[in-house]
Structure 1
Amino acid sequence: MTFALDRRRFLMGSTALLGATVLAPAAALAQENRLRLFFWGGQARADRTYAATDLYTKANPGTAFDGEFMAFSDYWTKLGTQVAGGNAPDILQMDYRYIVEYANRNAIAPLDDMVGKELDLSDFDQDQLDGGKVNGKLYGISLGANSVATIVNTAAFEEAGIAVPGPELSYADLPALAEKFNSANKRPGMKLWSDNSGVEPALDNWLRSKGKGLYGADGKPLFDENDLVEWFQLWADLRAAGVTVSPDDQALDATDAIENTMVTLGKATTTAANSNQLIAFQAVNKDPLTMIAYPRYKPGAGGGHYRKPSMFFSLGATSQKLSDGAKFINFFISDPDATKALGVERGIPCKKSTRDNIAPTLDAQSQIALNFVSNLGDLLGPLPPSPPANAGEVNKALKTKSQEVAFGSQSPQDAGPAFFKEVTEILSRK
């Protein structure tokens, strides 16, 4: 006996059968072309994604989707388990940080043979197309360009009578700004800044502002242990100056869920994020939000931003429906109605025709995101190479080490060399 799962059940992020289901004739289900779709994100992303799948199934009778979504950190654990078991989804969301690892392990399928056939990439931004390549082969279709960004609670700044910082903001400016905010803050317990010492994109941005970066094209670090000592000391000083939230508060933000970030919990006026996330942040925050750039390394220094593929759609290498999956991806990035439903929640669309199509329909938060990515000025630099395999482990290790420093179990002077040694060991693993 076979059951057909309705879309709304998957909207809640669960594949379990809950309550009554619709019993479909076995013959009808046998003819149905079902595609498994797996992605990370929150409810706002799920709503938009399933609006697009609904449009696709209407345009392609006989096709159905088994969809599932979850928080970023949980997503990779489950995806890894499915891939290891030979049960990868047909269509899966992929991150720039992990695409090299998944491609090199033959866990996702190369898409080159589908370009010009199932995939029409004729007006696709070249930098975003290149971002989906590993060893010269295309493994991911960028779903949007974005940049790291600082999400800001504008109401908290207005109540304190302080202007939201502009693009010239540097880390050196934060103590004085925090002093002004703390003296006029109307919200007990709220601090100026979230503690971003364990946020890999924040470290990367800071290193790039110094003229360095995380990784070179050879996959080796572009930083050294002295950079890490400086990084951990920077945040120790910001904690001591009353700029950031306490280590106990920052520890609440451990699941990569927007609901647990410092700005959503009301612990800080800001939190580190990506430009495409403003829509999802606003959906769970009553106060109006905006976004600003990450601080510069020092006053007058260049910025560390770049236009990053926010995420990709890739195809599971074991899928028996590669052609069907590619057709859906093409619909997702090209169809006029689907792209209007998706907006810029996953980033600024990479096809010019899509950007032209959706621009007149964007809401206020989407316009902020579009303008932010389009006007980074001297903060903008080139796209770095794809992170090496095991870079995801470095990201997790940074979070752990940053907490050790924040809670005082290790000094910045000891943490820098220790973490650099750990990075070297992680990247050397095969």
Structure 2
Amino acid sequence: MYLNLNRRQLLLGGSALMASTWLSPILAQDEQLRVIFWGNQDRADRTFKVMDAFGEDMGIAMAGEFLAFADYWPKLATQTAAGTAPDVVQMDGAGRYIAEYASRGAIAPLDEFIGKELDFAQFDQDQVEAGKVNDTLYAVSLGSNAFGMIVDTTPFEAAGVDIPGPQTTLDDLYAIAESFKSAGVAQAVTDDRSGSWAALENWLRQQSKALYTSDGELGFDAADMAGWLNLWKGFRDAGVCVSPEVQAMMEGPGTSPLIMGKSATMAEFSNLMSAYQALTTSPLVLTNFPRISLDAPGGYYRRPSMFFSISSTSSRKADAARFINFFVNDVEANTILNAERGIPPSAAVRDGIAGMLEDSARAAVTYVGGLEPLLSPPPPQSPSGGGEINESLLAFAAQEAAFGVRPPEAVAADFIAAAQEALERAG
């Protein structure tokens, strides 16, 4: 059954009210397999349907609970401290909670189930590795996305220019901009992504560098940052990217330069493809962010969106592992899930559900599944303080450089100093 909210509670919309429980129709057993996760009602409906299908197939009584993200972690922490955590718990894609819960012994190692209850034969290896802490598996990826570039095909067709792809370099954007101007295409080639941590990370990884090292330090220096800011200064000066005034108007997909008709492309994560396509009648395609050079590493990794782990206090760990296996490997289950948690990590599942997805979702699946030649191992998790650097300090530095407040070199030096201070303060 569902715990229904009345109309007033729904209108209040408070995250604390967004909690619901569900019990499978099989209630004969005294002990149920319990699952907890965060998400909205659509995710809950899909998840509960899959839980019901697994319960019916296995003759296991299932119980589910979901909350808003902000309420989830306090609830799980309370349950864990009391020794009452559900059997299956959802973990975040950034990996910070996995490492924390694993180090405290709150989630169980899963290596003993591999090849038995857990089948990774069709899994992408990088998705398996992402669930490990100190070479021990503690979590199973439920889906992934990847950084890329969303392209409006209309201006490219108008200019008679090929849509960017794996053979497109950053220098090629200058030539595309000239073709746009010659054809009378008003859009810039791209938005200004100098303030995007994901774009910066991709650029660094193409040079075999990183945002952060495995010991929680910055993986780049002031010279790298100056190079990044100067790259975008060159684009700005040549009209390759939008002006800082246009970029500053973006508050979300609806006010992005791409949707506002100011740029022909936008660097973004693959799972947002559907959101952007829903806002325009122009056909969009998903491709990779341009490369520094064709002999440079691709810089890509599949980023897990979230995981399932098993509580260390669970008395039904094998059944919990079987449920997770069903969730990630069963094609019918994933037809119900509709890649809502990201691109399935199983190649067999991706193939099995591809024909049942909406066009934009199918494009994301195809894109992420075809990134293999440009992939490299995923980075270490962001350290404490990384959020401030990624979302605040980088954005401020990018705006300073874009509006010409100070030269890129001066901005870069101050950014590195502020970032190191943020890491020390949080550490």
- TM-score, length basis structure 2: 0.76
> What residue in structure 2 maps to residue 400 of structure 1?
396
The secondary structure found in structure 2 opposite 1:53 is helix
Is it true that 1:391 corresponds to 2:382 in the alignment?
no
Alignment of 1:27-46 (within 5 A): 36-39=36-39
> What residue in structure 2 maps to residue 214 of structure 1?
211
Distance 1:259 1:401 in 2: 24
Counterpart amino acid of 2:399? Q
Match 1:198 to one of 195, 199, 219: 195
Once the two structures are TM-superposed, the CA of residue 155 in structure 1 deviates from its matched residue by 2.3
Is it true that 1:305 corresponds to 2:299 in the alignment?
yes
Counterpart amino acid of 1:131? A
Is it true that 1:152 corresponds to 2:151 in the alignment?
yes
Q: Deviations over 1:359-405 (max 9, x none)?
A: 45455434433443344465333333333343333212222322232
Q: Deviations over 1:328-373 (max 9, x none)?
A: 6444313332212334454442234423432454554344334433
Is it true that 1:120 corresponds to 2:118 in the alignment?
yes
User: Residues 404 and 85 (structure 1 numbering): CA distance in 2 closer, same or farther, change over 3 Å?
Assistant: farther
Distance 1:6 1:229 in 2: 53
User: Residues 100 and 84 (structure 1 numbering): CA distance in 2 closer, same or farther, change over 3 Å?
Assistant: closer
Q: Deviations over 1:44-89 (max 9, x none)?
A: xx746633433424654875655456xxxxx5x6666767877999
Cα pair 2:191 2:263 within 8 Å, conserved: yes
Distance 2:377 2:143 in 1: 16
User: Residues 270 and 139 (structure 1 numbering): CA distance in 2 closer, same or farther, change over 3 Å?
Assistant: farther
Distance 2:372 2:115 in 1: 37
Alignment of 1:283-322 (within 5 A): 283-297=278-292, 299-314=293-308
Distance 1:377 1:201 in 2: 18
Distance 2:330 2:275 in 1: 23
Cα pair 1:333 1:351 within 8 Å, conserved: yes
Q: Deviations over 1:222-277 (max 9, x none)?
A: 311100011111112212222222323323434xx544443234332222222343
Alignment of 1:240-389 (within 5 A): 240-254=237-251, 257-297=252-292, 299-314=293-308, 329-344=324-339, 346-376=341-371, 378-389=373-384
Distance 1:249 1:201 in 2: 20
Alignment of 1:166-205 (within 5 A): 166-184=165-183, 190-205=187-202
> How many residue pairs are counted as aligned between the two chains?
403
Bigger drift between 299-308 and 84-93 goes to 84-93
> What residue in structure 2 maps to residue 23 of structure 1?
none
Cα pair 1:143 1:310 within 8 Å, conserved: yes
- Aligned residues: CA RMSD: 4.2
Match 1:417 to one of 396, 413, 417: 413
> What residue in structure 2 maps to residue 225 of structure 1?
222
User: Residues 377 and 135 (structure 1 numbering): CA distance in 2 closer, same or farther, change over 3 Å?
Assistant: closer
Q: Deviations over 1:279-305 (max 9, x none)?
A: 3432343221111211112x4341433
User: Residues 118 and 91 (structure 1 numbering): CA distance in 2 closer, same or farther, change over 3 Å?
Assistant: farther
Once the two structures are TM-superposed, the CA of residue 35 in structure 1 deviates from its matched residue by 5.2
